[in-house]
Structure 1
Amino acid sequence: MKSAALALILIASASAAQAQGVVNAICSTDGPWCEAAAREFSKATGIKVNQTHKPTGEAQAQLRAEAANPKTDLWWGGTGDPYYQAAEVGLLEAYRPAYLDNLHGWAVRQYAMSQNRVGGFYSSAIGFGWNDEVMKKKKLPPPKCWKDLLDPRYKGEIETSHPGSSGTGYTILAGLVQLMGEDAAFDYLKKLHKNVTTYTRSGQAQARNVAKGEVAIGVSFIFGFDNERLTNKFPVSSAAPCEGTGYEIGGIALVKGARNADNAKKYYDWLMSADGQKIGATVGSLQVPANKTFKPDPRIPPLDGVRLVKYDFEKYGKAAERRRLVERWTKEVEAQPK
């Protein structure tokens, strides 16, 4: 009888766990954060997370392809511009959380700008990172300004990401356009092209490649380079460009027509909570968290001393503007010989 009772309890427990269901997500921030968040959320709620890791450009393309029959419930992390483009074409569901007072103003503004279809998940600024040992060995001075990257001594020493596939790459492009003016920015990028060795598919590659000494200088989000120095103890230094720089507000959004909408909201709310937002720093993701109700990790680089451009998220988040700028970049920059 005891065995039968135990079996019934186990069956009931399994049924209860199964009843929690699943949520299908795409995560576009750092891989370890994606994995840790899914694991901890499942542990806390019993909801199974089926999650893939993709750059924002590829994630947006997947949602477009699935539009008639959505297979994704939630998309989170990564630069916000592709989120606005997805919202613009009707791929995202409006959601205005009840806990907006817990969030920084820059996060709350994303809701208003996108008719509540996109939330602000974290923030970080674009900058440079370099490997101190490689720079010393090659007798290269560290860059401090955008203009420094045009030094002929840097030929083949700089790595950045492709704006067509990478949200980071597009943030760099759009930020320079707003900083310099469009024609001046493209003139600058053509000159920079001569020094670039690789345009990677994802903007998350630069920090690790610089840390390993595979490339001397990377252009990406500053927090990645700082993480390699502070957490992983690599000889990496970083700087915010002296002229000013672009920045991101990472996105989070519910997918319109989601099959598991209730569980998607639970995962969304957990990711935006203090418990969810703390996860990033524990695995080396040092973006500034949107939730202001807890003390963030002291390794997170503050934005106070960085000259940020007045980034027009509404204009540069539109699909047509992104397409136009990327097409111009492909024709005028990428196609140029080195």
Structure 2
Amino acid sequence: MVGAASIWAGAAGAETELLVYSAIEAEDLSRYAEAFTAQHPDIKINWVRDSTGVVTAKLLAEKNNPHADVVWGLAATSLLLLKSEGMLEPYAPKGVEHLNQKFVDADDIPSWVGMDAWAASICYNTVEAEKLGLTPPTSWADLLASQYKGHLIMPNPNSSGTGFLDVSSWLQMFGEEGGWAYMDGLHKNIARYTHSGSKPCKLAAAGEIPIGISFAFRGAKSKAAGAPLDIIVPSEGIGWDMEAAGIIAGTDKQDAAQKLLDFAVSKEANQMYNSGYAVVAYPGVAKPVEHFPEGLEEAMIDNDFEFAANNRAAILREWQSRYDGKSDPK
């Protein structure tokens, strides 16, 4: 798991400070911060970053005494959960009408706005797999084959948004009984569960494991850097989620928080998101990403975000009771 990290961006003598919780990849966060503070030097932002599950749990634990002013870059399923708990302040950012409406809360005044989408995929190290005599999978079902025993890594859904979208999508695609049966079979082949969604692909890229269940853009990025990876889109379809942003209810920094949300939906911000994600909220902005797998957008399931959000706690408890013994130490 990426440990909690705090960084700040802002000009000396800034008039307002915002505490912003985020699960944005650390390598991208500094670019976003720099772009925002260039436009708003009077706002100092204290960023607290961790993995999706950790940030979500922290926000829920602080429900009755919220610390954060804004969430910028957390899974939409987590934002829906916060909304259901009355923890988000509805606000329609300037320019929100330009976004693809799939990326915007359906209420007249949205409680959250989407930024970009990431989707599951399998990162397959062709060199390491060949050494082991493995054949490449083409489906989720293929991963249950005995040849893969001990050669798979995936993220823990309690700490990773990518891990949760995998589990949620399997329950949607295969049904509740079939989904847990699938995960029982997969667990037999899993070497370990990581606390980061990108780590399985990074480990596969480094040759430490032949197969990592991760997300597609991480695979494309690693392949562009020279890793011997195939990025496989399973034939049954793939889970996906959005990064999203929202204002925490009760903040006394409304004006500054709204400026951050205005920036979060801007074309400039979406252009930045495109450097880390192939699918963004602002239509016409996304440029093709080198090595991004063909057919990925078509394979994205008709994701029931309400199901994922409403059943999140129960799903995570069940997963932990069954499989947590193979998780990396926290």
Category of TM-score, reference length = shorter chain? 0.7 to 0.9
Partner of 1:198: 192
Distance 1:40 1:115, change over 3 A: closer
Give the drift of 1:208: 1.4
Partner of 2:221: 227
Give the drift of 1:186: 0.6
Give, as a single letter, the amino acid of the residue that structure 2 aligns with 1:88: S
Structure 1 residues 153-302: aligned runs within 5 Å: 153-230=147-224, 232-282=225-275, 285-299=276-290
* Coordinate RMSD, CA, aligned: 2.2
Give, as a single letter, the amino acid of the residue that structure 1 aligns with 2:251: A
CA distance in 2, matches of 1:219, 1:63: 27
Quick check: which one's helix share is greater?
Answer: 1
- Asked whether the equivalents of residues 125 and 245 of structure 1 are also in contact (C-alpha less than 8 Å), the reply is yes
TM-score between both structures, scaled by the size of structure 1: 0.86
- Asked whether the equivalents of residues 83 and 111 of structure 2 are also in contact (C-alpha less than 8 Å), the reply is yes
CA distance in 2, matches of 1:119, 1:62: 20
Which of 287, 301, 305 lines up with 1:313 in the alignment? 305
CA distance in 1, matches of 2:166, 2:229: 20
Partner of 2:33: 38
CA distance in 2, matches of 1:77, 1:275: 16
Q: Percent identity?
A: 27
Deviation string for 1:192-246 (max 9, x for gaps)? 001111111121222211111122111122111111112x222221111101121
Partner of 2:4: none
Partner secondary structure for residue 72 of structure 1: coil
Instruction: Number of aligned residue pairs: give it.
Output: 314
Distance 1:218 1:205, change over 3 A: same
Distance 1:115 1:169, change over 3 A: farther
TM-score between both structures, scaled by the size of structure 2: 0.88
CA distance in 2, matches of 1:143, 1:91: 42
Partner of 2:106: 112
Is 1:79 the equivalent of 2:79? no
Partner of 2:18: 23
Deviates more, 1:18-27 or 1:196-205: 18-27
Partner secondary structure for residue 154 of structure 2: strand
Give the drift of 1:334: 3.8
Partner of 1:11: none
Distance 1:305 1:264, change over 3 A: closer
CA distance in 1, matches of 2:14, 2:158: 41
Give the greater-gyration-radius structure (CA). Answer: 1
Give the drift of 1:247: 1.2
Partner secondary structure for residue 245 of structure 1: coil
Deviation string for 1:154-202 (max 9, x for gaps)? 1111111111222211111110011011101111100100111111112
CA distance in 2, matches of 1:303, 1:256: 39
